[in-house]
Amino acid sequence: MNESDESGKGWKKLREILIEPKVDEEALNQALETASARQAPPVLWLLGKTQSGKTSLIRALTGSSDAEIGNGFRPCTKTARFYDFPAEAPVVRFLDTRGLGEVDYDPGNDIDYCESQAHLVIAVMKASDVRQDAVFDVLRAIRKRHPGWAVLVVQTCLHELYPPDGDHPSPYPFDQENWSRQVPADLGRALLDQRERLGKLAGDGPLLWVPVDFTLPEDGYQPVYYGLDALWTAIETVSSFGLQTLLREDPDVKSAYSRAAHPHIMGYTLAAATVGALPVVDMALVPALQVKLLHTLAALYKLSWNARTSSEFFGLLGVSFAAGYGLRWAGRGLIKLIPVWGQTVGAVWGATTSGAITFALGKSACFYLEQKGKGITVDAEALRKVYADALSRGRRLSPLQEQAAESSRADTDKDQTS
């Protein structure tokens, strides 16, 4: 099959699947299952007593509401549960071990299960709660079995130890050596006491302490997510899965809709990259992911993605988008024909182009939907610039996409030899 045939196939697929706003549920489910099986999201294991602030931590990292988190948890053992975010195309999984410190609760089975799943251990403890022995015992046991594992301890609810009418210490002092002199005395003593009680853990894995105070606007403390930047710094220091890139929109983006949309775009981008690394099947599955992403974004903006919306959006993007989409099929098809080299480079090509186009579609759709929501006529040139900039940015996400390609390629090789 020559290049023009492949390009024509890409354009036909574009017209059949992207211009037509109906989601191919069968292809979508197959794509999501394939992506999840080949590139599972990183798992953050949250250890802590009830009311220690684990839900507030998830809310701060994801932007989800308490109700969304509560309804989104699913059981994985009798007393452990997990929360995928975003739900359909997750970029992170939170694993919560409930009941630590409660009477008649033996955490052994839960600990064994969670230990086999986790990529990062985060212990969450209220600063004013001196009874943390149950949490400490689990941390010591984990590090004895896994001496190289990083442990992140998040000390929460700082305001409970402020003096009357007290407020957050500003600027955030806990990343400085003499922080204890810059905070209320009761708070400083409590934070240091927890650290002394835990003591030195076995092994050489890093142990980081991060005091935070994640409150609600009605509580009257500003900022609401006090210490969030320090928490992100700690997570990025002890892990390598780029969680901040996956969950946080650029700081200069002011739109709350765009910030909420970003992790959904990243979830579908990584799923498309994973599926795009596979031969043949990506031509059916990647577009299904892209259509679902557009529907998801429209729902976030409280709009609908219908035939009229789809036709206008892709019409504004113009023929340059259509040509690029067609060439993606042509390039992928030609590279696949080259023995051995085509399997390796073809996987990276498929992952990178599928991921970059999905990312660009998501970002440009956000621009389009935001303008439509405000009743503003969408400028075609501005939309195309957003798409082009996002496509370039999407290509720079290649380390994440190449991980997806490597995972898919390894699984494909395994399937072929089994």
Name the pLDDT band for 38 (thresholds 50, 70, 90): confident
The H or E element containing residue 122 is strand 120-126
User: Is 384:294 a contact under the CB 8 Å cutoff?
Assistant: no
What tens digit of pLDDT does each residue of 60-95 get? 999 988 878 888 888 877 777 899 999 999 999 998
pLDDT for res 242: 87
Residue 143 reports pLDDT greater than 70 = yes
Length of the chain: 418
Q: Round to whole Å and give the CA distance between 165 and 159.
A: 10
What is the phi/psi pair of residue 262, to 5°? -55, -50
DSSP 249-299: --TT---HHHHHHHHHHHHHHHHHHHHHTSTTTHHHHHHHHHHHHHHHHHH
Round the average pLDDT of the chain to a whole number and report it: 83
The pLDDT assigned to 412 comes to 45
63, two tokens: 């932007």
The reported pTM is: 0.86
Encode pLDDT of 322-351 as tens digits: 766 665 555 555 555 455 544 555 566 677
Residue 408 pLDDT greater than 90, yes or no: no
